[in-house]
């Protein structure tokens, strides 16, 4: 049963601390997406990678967020330093380019981040 995995599932941290979230995409998918979901803003695309290369990170606050894909089986999203406004659920999704260049995405279970 192929699925996207994310760790940790929950994270509570204090303002100013570094947070690292990890994602293992579905084997064979060449594109990985990072999203943030809040009640106020809904689901927002932060960044995505194709074949491990960053294609778009325009949705990410550059001064504190960074995303990498060290290898095909691991994507990371880091926040340093974290702030209370970063509290949200962070989803990773994976997919492969399909019809009309679009992606059918498969989401991981998410990391619920609380910054106090």
Partner 1 sequence: QKEVEQNSGPLSVPEGAIASLNCTYSDRGSQSFFWYRQYSGKSPELIMSIYSNGDKEDGRFTAQLNKASQYVSLLIRDSQPSDSATYLCARGDMRFGAGTRLTVKP
Task: List residues binding partner 1 (CB under 8 A).
Answer: 33, 42-45, 48, 91, 99-110
**What minimum distance in Å lies between the beta carbon of 116 and partner 1?**
21
CB 25 within 8 Å of CB 4? yes
**What minimum distance in Å lies between the beta carbon of 9 and partner 1?**
11
- Residue 5 bridge partners (DSSP): 24
Compare residues 65 and 103 and give the one whose CB is closer to partner 1.
103
Compare residues 81 and 109 and give the one whose CB is closer to partner 1.
109
Closest alpha carbon to 22 in 80, 63, 68, 62 = 68
CA dist 21 and 113 (Å) reads 9
Compare residues 58 and 71 and give the one whose CB is closer to partner 1.
58
């Amino acid at each position: 049963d192929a699925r996207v995995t994310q760790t940790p599932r929950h994270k509570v941290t204090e303002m100013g601390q570094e947070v690292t979230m990890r994602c293992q995409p579905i084997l064979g998918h060449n594109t990985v997406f990072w999203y943030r979901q809040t009640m106020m803003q809904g689901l927002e695309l932060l960044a995505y990678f194709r074949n491990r290369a960053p294609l778009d990170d325009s949705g990410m606050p550059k001064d504190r967020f960074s995303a990498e894909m060290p290898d095909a089986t691991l994507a990371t999203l880091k926040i340093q330093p974290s702030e209370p406004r970063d509290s949200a659920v962070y989803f990773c999704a994976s997919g492969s380019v399909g019809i009309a260049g679009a992606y059918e995405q498969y989401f991981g279970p998410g990391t619920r981040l609380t910054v106090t």
